[in-house]
Amino acid sequence: MAVSKDCTHQGQELTYQAANDRFNCPLHNSNFSTTGAVVNGPATSALKQYKTELNSAGTTLRVYEG
């Protein structure tokens, strides 16, 4: 699975915080889990999720909307 890179609060691009295993919005400090769920706001909507598929050789990743 993949998630949108933009915060659902005001569209700021998120950064991944490896130490906390979450996505953070540097604008207003909303945090999202790696599944896109809101950990804390001000964002109230989850990130959009995308289906993914890795080919058997492990060389191509496809991302599907919805």
> What six digits make up the tokens of 38?
């809101």
Please determine, for residue 66, whether its predicted confidence score (pLDDT) is greater than 90: no
Contact 1, 63 (CB under 8 A): no
Q: State residue 40's pLDDT score.
A: 96
Give the span between the Cα atoms of 18 and 4, in whole angstroms. 17
CATH topology assigned to domain 2-65 = Rieske Iron-sulfur Protein (2.102.10)
Kind of pairing between the strands at 15-17 and 22-24:
antiparallel
- Per-residue pLDDT tens digits for 10-49: 999 999 999 999 999 999 999 999 999 999 999 999 999 9
Annotated domain spans of the chain: 2-65
Q: How far apart are CA 45 and CA 6, in angstroms?
A: 12
